[in-house]
A = this chain, B = another copy of it.
Amino acid sequence: MKFADYIKDYKNKINKAIQSIYDKKLDTTKNSFLKDYYSEMKDYFLTGGKRIRPLLCLATYYAFSENRDEIIITPSVGTEFLHNASLIHDDIIDKDNFRRGKPAFHFRFRNYHDKYNLKKSLASDFGNSIGIIGGDSAFIIGLEAYFTNDFEKDLNLNAIKYYEQAFIEIIHGVLIETDMVNHKEIAMDDYIEMISLKTGALIEKSILIGANYAKVDDKYKKYLSIYGINLGIIFQIIDDILGTFGDEKVTGKPTDGDIREGKRTCLLIEALNKSIPKNKKRIHELIERPEMSEEEVLEVKDLFLEADAISSCKELANGYFEEVKTALENLEPVINSSESEFYEDLLNFVYNRKF
């Protein structure tokens, strides 16, 4: 089954499960501000998003199951809450005011503040406050996915452990990344560790939660882990390439952001590794500046190209791609063929994406 077909078959059901969690909150809430808050949150959750994490949870459950019962849909949405919660907090930290073409969650409440002409606080403070609390609330509501389903309590407790582990790994990844910007030399291994924590861990845990409910044997979980972590690593490497050399019209993101921030991308690390000393010095000089002109950004891009950084990054991604292929070969004999196809198709989608 192709990834696109999986989306077609299950995305609506996943969205309904998310919606029903927020509808329940709206039903039991009398306070008018809380009602506005949950309405915004529901709208935020239901705007865009491919639901890759719930789909991976579902697909893994179906990969090892005889039938396609839908009791897995409710717990599959847990990690989507964790994912969105961390986006809400990231957008405050990175001062990104838009997400998926609409206002970021905290920015919605900056607008709310303006709309009601609230006087005792600044609009930006009000937005950030509700955003901090909003992320907290999404983090914790995600656990409800494991309380309100028809699986055994033991399996739900295991799922919560995976959820907690994923959360801690994401936090470690974000902390390491926040610190990285202050280090001049970054080893590629440290970068890979950072992205495998920041992005790989939650994909891996979404898969393992599906495997947990399907009671998959431990010997197969290690291949599932490789698939999940490496998919995250590949996603992030491609993301770095597209972030600087992608087509803005296709990605919807400006291609100067990472360079201006001095973000430690794999492009930067490879460029520093492969450049001649003179160019390396110049790259350092430019990216350490608090402000950069358009010409200076272009100069950095040229220095990346001169060091052939894109090819090096693709080669790096390719190594992880090959590892996944081997892991999938080990899984193939024991999983359903339609999910075998799904795993492979999603891998190709992530590897070849242009947006």
Contacts and interface: CB of A to CB of B under 8 A. Distances in A.
- Chain copies in the assembled complex: 2
A120 B141 CA distance: 34
A67 B346 CA distance: 56
Nearest to A180: B33
A121 B120 CA distance: 29
Contact of A181 (B89, B121, B130): B121
B129 A93 contact: yes
Contacts of A178: 126, 129-130, 133
Given A133-B89, A136-B136, A168-B137, A120 B181 contact: yes
Given A143-B160, A144-B164, A157-B156, A171 B137 contact: yes
B154 A141 contact: no
Interface string A155-191: 0110011001001100110111011011000000000
Closest 3 pairs between A and B when the two form their complex, measured CB to CB: A33-B179, A140-B167, A93-B129
Interface of A: 29, 31, 33-34, 37, 89, 92-93, 116, 118-121, 125-126, 128-130, 132-133, 135-137, 139-141, 143-144, 147, 153-154, 156-157, 160-161, 164, 167-168, 171-172, 174-176, 178-179, 181-182, 261-262, 288, 290
20 contacts: A29-B172, A33-B176, A89-B132, A120-B181, A120-B261, A120-B290, A121-B181, A130-B178, A132-B132, A136-B167, A136-B171, A137-B168, A139-B139, A140-B167, A143-B164, A147-B161, A147-B164, A153-B153, A156-B157, A160-B160
